[in-house]
């Protein structure tokens, strides 16, 4: 086996700095996008309720039409 190579302290510093900057950026980006995603989910839930209500009404009307024709 080959013995481990000495890595320059400058390279170590650059790698860990990039890691920390990436973590900080990801954290700030997540904090920025989280409220937007929550609002989107709320709007989708409202739309789903409206669609379910419309489907329920359409089903009731279809049932009433069937009973009238019989």
Range of the domain at 65: 34-70
Query: What span, in angstroms and rounded, lies between the C-alpha atoms of 47 and 42?
Result: 9
- pLDDT recorded at residue 44: 97
Mean per-residue pLDDT, 19-30: 98
pLDDT at 63: 75
Rg (CA), the chain: 29
Q: How many domains does the chain contain in total?
A: 1
* Domain annotation covers residue 28: no
DSSP for 36-49?
Answer: HHHHHHHHHHHHHH
For position 61, what pLDDT does the model report?
83
Query: In this model, does residue 8 exceed pLDDT 90?
Result: yes
- Residue whose pair of structure tokens reads 């170590």 in the numeric block: 12
Whether 46 is covered by a domain: the verdict is yes
In a domain, 47, yes or no: yes
Give the predicted TM-score (pTM) of the model.
0.62
Residue 57 forms part of a structural domain: yes
- List, for residues 25-56, the tens digit of each pLDDT value: 999 999 999 999 999 999 999 999 999 999 99
Burial environment of residue 39 by CB neighbours within 10 A (0 to 12, 13 to 18, 19 or more): exposed
């Amino acid at each position: 086996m080959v013995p481990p190579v000495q890595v320059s302290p400058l390279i170590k510093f650059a790698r860990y700095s990039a890691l920390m900057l990436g973590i900080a950026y990801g954290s700030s980006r997540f904090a920025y996008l989280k409220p937007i995603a929550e609002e989107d989910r709320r709007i989708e839930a409202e739309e789903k309720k409206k669609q379910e209500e419309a489907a329920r009404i359409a089903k009731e009307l279809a049932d009433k039409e069937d009973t009238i024709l019989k």
